[in-house]
Amino acid sequence: MKYDDPLPTLYPSPNCDQRPDGIAIDTIVLHATVLNTLEEVIEKFSDPHSRVSAHYTIDRDGMLACHVPERLRAWHAGQSKMKDGREAVNDFSVGIELVNLNDGEDPFPEAQIQALRRLLTTIVARHPIRHIVTHYECADPPGRKSDPAGFKKSWIEGMLANEDPSSCPSGHLLPEGEG
């Protein structure tokens, strides 16, 4: 299954729960797995003891794995805070993992980025998304996380029609490769 397949593959994770009542999903958080393979990610997210998950993982070849339905809260952002002051970003976000070592040198292949763009398009169609942020942009305290290191926001430019320009100014991006 490659990025042109609209249906994600299901690899369920028990590491999720209900979102707060009535909350709007308006944020997408991008991560790097640090783990080197999708199989390792599936194993970790399937393990209730890991206490972590994400809604989706995109493999290097563009294969899309779904772990948690978007209506539920996945456990990916941890202690987190948006630039608008909102905390507990898991409450109102969709988490997407990119299989990548997060060393700032491991490349994000074109097929992976294309699959990400396709997935973002579908999520934006389902929810009033206003922010697409990296984990390092919303980790609290700042600097707690570095992922996805080496990811360029320019790869997903223009995905949001109504993006809040204050949410992720390019000046806040880390230089490529900085972990």
Task: Return the active site residues.
Answer: 97
CB of 178 to Zn ion, least distance (A): 15
CB 76 within 8 A of CB 44: no
Q: Give dist(CA 88, CA 156) in Å, integer.
A: 24
Chain-centroid distance of CA 87 in Å reads 16
**What is the amino acid identity at position 26?**
D
Residue (4 or 37) nearer to Zn ion, CB? 37
Q: Which two tokens stand for residue 155?
A: 């790869």
Q: Which of 135, 146, 151, 168 binds Zn ion (CB under 5 A)?
A: 135
Residue (8 or 95) nearer to Zn ion, CB? 95
Confirm or reject binding of residue 147 to Zn ion (CB under 5 A). yes
Subset of residues 80 to 99 that bind Zn ion, contact rule: CB under 5 A: none
Confirm or reject binding of residue 67 to Zn ion (CB under 5 A). no
Contacts of 152 by beta carbon, 8 Å cutoff, 6+ apart? 176
Task: Say whether the peptide bond before residue 12 is cis (omega within 30 degrees of 0).
Answer: no
CB 148 within 8 A of CB 31: yes
Contacts of 105 by beta carbon, 8 Å cutoff, 6+ apart? 150, 177
Size of residue set near Zn ion by CB under 5 A: 3
* Part of the chain binding Zn ion (CB under 5 A), chosen from 7-15, 27-35, 64-72, 158-166: 27-35
* Part of the chain binding Zn ion (CB under 5 A), chosen from 12-20, 62-70, 80-88, 144-152: 144-152
Residue (102 or 167) nearer to Zn ion, CB? 102
Residue (131 or 135) nearer to Zn ion, CB? 135
* Part of the chain binding Zn ion (CB under 5 A), chosen from 4-12, 33-41, 80-88, 145-153: 145-153
CB of 32 to Zn ion, least distance (A): 7
Q: Which of 19, 31, 67, 73 binds Zn ion (CB under 5 A)?
A: 31
Which of 85, 115, 139, 89 has its CA nearest to residue 9?
115
DSSP 8-state assignment for residue 20: P
Q: Which residues contribute to the site for Zn ion (CB under 5 A)?
A: 31, 135, 147
